[in-house]
Amino acid sequence: MQLPADDTGMDWNKILESLDEAKIPEDMTKEEFFAMSDARAAQALLAAQDFDESAGWQEFTYLRGQRRLRHRRIIRLAVAASLVLALGAGLWIFTPRNHSIQTADVLPAGKVRLRTSDGRSIELEKQARSIQDNDIAKINAGGDSLVYTATGKAKQHGIPRDTLDIPRGTPFQLLLADGTRVWLNAESRLIYPAAFQGLTREVFLEGEGYFDVAPDPSHPFLVHTGNTTTKVLGTAFNIRAYDASVVTTLRSGKVQVTAGSASLLLQPDEQAIVHTRNGDLQKRTVDSRDYFAWIQGDLYFDGATLGSITETLSRYYDYRFVFDDAAIAALRFTLDIPRPERLQDVLAQLNKSREDLRFQVDNKTITISIH
In this predicted model, what pLDDT tens digit does every residue of 181-222 receive, in sequence order?
A: 999 999 999 999 998 988 999 999 999 999 999 999 899 999
- Residue type for position 291: Y
* Residue percentage of the chain with pLDDT more than 70: 71
How would you classify the pairing of strands 201-212 and 221-225?
Answer: parallel
* 27-33 contacts, C-beta under 8 A, 24 or more apart: 31/71, 31/72, 31/75
Q: Please, what is the Cα angle at 274 between 270 and 279, to 5 degrees?
A: 145
The mean of the pLDDT values for the chain is 81
Q: Give the residue among 184, 173, 177, 182 at the shortest CA–CA distance from 201.
A: 177
CA 257, CA 277: separation in Å to the nearest integer?
17
User: Domain ends where: 271, 292, 313?
Assistant: 292
pLDDT average, residue stretch 230-258: 92
Residue 283 shares a structural domain with residue 303: no
pLDDT for 159 equals 74
User: Domain ends where: 292, 307, 337?
Assistant: 292
Helices then strands, each counted (H, E), the chain = 7, 23
- Residue type for position 358: R
Q: Find out whether 266 and 248 touch, Cβ atoms under 8 Å.
A: yes
CB atoms within 10 A of CB 181: 17
Q: Give the residue among 169, 218, 209 at the shortest CA–CA distance from 191.
A: 209
Residue 217 shares a structural domain with residue 316: no
pLDDT for 105 equals 86
Contacts of residue 38, Cβ cutoff 8 Å, sequence gap at least 6: 72, 75, 76, 79, 80
Could you tell me if residue 105 is inside a domain? no
Could you tell me if residue 146 is inside a domain? yes
Which CATH number is 235's domain given? 2.60.120.1440
Could you tell me if residue 85 is inside a domain? yes
pLDDT average, residue stretch 342-363: 93
Could you tell me if residue 3 is inside a domain? no
In this predicted model, what pLDDT tens digit does every residue of 123-182 receive, in sequence order?
A: 988 777 888 877 788 899 987 899 999 887 656 566 789 999 999 988 899 999 999 999
pLDDT above 70 (res 36): no
Residue 168 shares a structural domain with residue 38: no
* 368-371 contacts, C-beta under 8 A, 24 or more apart: 368/306, 368/310, 368/321, 368/322, 368/323, 368/324, 368/328, 369/323, 369/324, 369/325, 369/328, 370/324, 370/325, 370/328, 371/52, 371/55
Which CATH number is 337's domain given? 3.55.50.30
CA 146, CA 128: separation in Å to the nearest integer?
10
pLDDT average, residue stretch 8-31: 63
pLDDT average, residue stretch 299-311: 95
Domain residues for the domain of 147 are 113-292
pLDDT average, residue stretch 284-313: 92
Residue 162 shares a structural domain with residue 244: yes
Residue 68 shares a structural domain with residue 123: no
- Residue type for position 1: M
Residue 132 shares a structural domain with residue 214: yes
Q: 3-state class of 46 per DSSP? A: helix
Range with lowest mean pLDDT among 73-77, 262-266, 343-347 = 73-77
pLDDT bracket for residue 26 (50, 70, 90): low
pLDDT above 70 (res 332): yes
How many structural domains does the chain have?
Answer: 3
User: Domain ends where: 98, 125, 143?
Assistant: 98
pLDDT for 366 equals 96
pLDDT for 156 equals 55
